[in-house]
Amino acid sequence: QVSGHVPSLRSWLSLQLCGACDTGVQRLTNLMESMAVSTSAAGAEESDRNVPRICGVCGDKATGFHFNAMTCEGCKGFFRRSMKRKANFTCPFSGNCKITKDNRRHCQACRLKRCVDIGMMKEFILTDEEVQRKKDLIQKRKVEEAQREAQRPRLSEEQNQLIATLVEAHHKTYDESYSDFSRFRPPVRQGPVTRSASRAASLHSLSDTSSDSFSHSPESTDMKLMNFSSIMMMYQEQSSSPESSEEGSSHLSMLPHLADLVSYSIQKVIGFAKMIPGFRELTAEDQIALLKSSAIEVIMLRSNQSFSLEDMSWSCGSPDYKYCVNDITKAGHTLELLEPLIRFQVGLKKLNLHEEEHVLLMAICLLSPDRPGVQDHARVESLQDRLSETLQAYIRVNHPGGRLLYAKMIQKLADLRSLNEEHSKQYRSLSFQPEHSTQLTPLVLEVFGSEVS
């Protein structure tokens, strides 16, 4: 039996391949010839058995189809290497060595011939490598995607909770139906009839130009100046009207209604503040100090929700509760406050803040550690820092193109400080006149009052 010779082949071959023994070569060749016949017959039988997992080249255990034929890993690698090197082997024997698992390394020429005979094709090497390359590429993309996913900024559970709390607090304290407004003392838009009419007309044209200028070229200084001068003209027209017109211009017809509106808004701001995590843990004194100094700023911020760029006014439901600049002048405020206030409202509106950003900005405004009268600076600051970090993280994650948004929002807080200052000035002069201060509510008097808790 041929198989009986196989174990000795290895030792024979090692002698032969080093070329040490000529007689060995001859004997080996004879042996191999006789074996080749018997195994090719066996190979034919095997291939009938529905693709056995046996290498078609050497008979070793096959690992699958490689380059179009069932082979072992060894013969797969051999075929690939040979093709790549464009190797040109020569059989040292008679050119038809029988290749087995044990001798397959000994005659490359016949091993390669066998490879081709059983159908291995170099075209499949390219295909397989292409497949591998694609697999690698897919894998690489998966890894990159996973890395991106891992690096993507995220909001922590705590930050998400904070935002949810603030949004809920805002919903509970800001009624978009404005149905409570009917309980305020009613708005009275009377005034010297002719002047009122002309003012309304000029305001109307002002609204048109300003909405245009703001929406098309917000940075245009010319347009701003034009707006400003038209507002100033209106204002001068108004203030030049003699104090002596019938009822006297000291009668501020919108004051009762707007005082009630502001008083109501202060209550809502207090309600909102109390729901900001950490606020109620502050001392009562610090809570009061924060509220007293920020209330008007938060009111200005939250009023942006009803502010409309189309007509530069605050629309709170019915036409009765639609407030334009002129209405507010009838509550004692001058354009030194109203002009920058309108500009502020326009700028804020144009930031197109998400509700989450809007509520965070209000909370950040409320928890400013540098307000007069604040004792526990560090504590307020750490609460504000947490809010600021959450806002920045929110913008990074959820506001595409919001690279500069945080800075713009912080600028709005600076604008609010000067608006606050101007408001205080105007409030003081108003409250010094008893006929006006009696129109205010106790809450307004307390919150806007100058005495520091």
The site for Zn ion (CB under 5 A) is made up of 55, 57-58, 60, 72, 75, 91, 93, 97, 107, 110
Least Cβ distance, residue 49 to Zn ion (angstroms): 17
Apex 210 CA angle, 240 and 307, nearest 5 = 95
Residue 443: CB atoms within 10 Å: 17
Least Cβ distance, residue 20 to Zn ion (angstroms): 18
Determine the Cα–Cα distance for residues 125 and 69; give it in Å rounded to an integer. 12
Least Cβ distance, residue 149 to Zn ion (angstroms): 43
Pairing mode, strands 69-71 and 322-323: unpaired
Q: Among all chains, which residue has been given the structure tokens 């919903």?
A: 171
Determine the Cα–Cα distance for residues 97 and 111; give it in Å rounded to an integer. 8
> Nearer Cβ to Zn ion, position 25 or 362?
25
> Nearer Cβ to Zn ion, position 111 or 333?
111
> Nearer Cβ to Zn ion, position 56 or 187?
56
* 64 and 56 Cβ atoms separated by less than 8 Å: no
Least Cβ distance, residue 87 to Zn ion (angstroms): 14
| Most distant CA pair in the chain, distance | 140
Residues contacting residue 382 through CB under 8 Å, at least 6 positions apart: none
Residue 54 is given by DSSP the state B
Least Cβ distance, residue 393 to Zn ion (angstroms): 59
Indicate left, alpha or beta for 372 from its phi (over 0: left) and psi (-120 to 50: alpha): beta
> Nearer Cβ to Zn ion, position 55 or 348?
55
Least Cβ distance, residue 113 to Zn ion (angstroms): 8
> Nearer Cβ to Zn ion, position 104 or 333?
104
> Nearer Cβ to Zn ion, position 83 or 110?
110
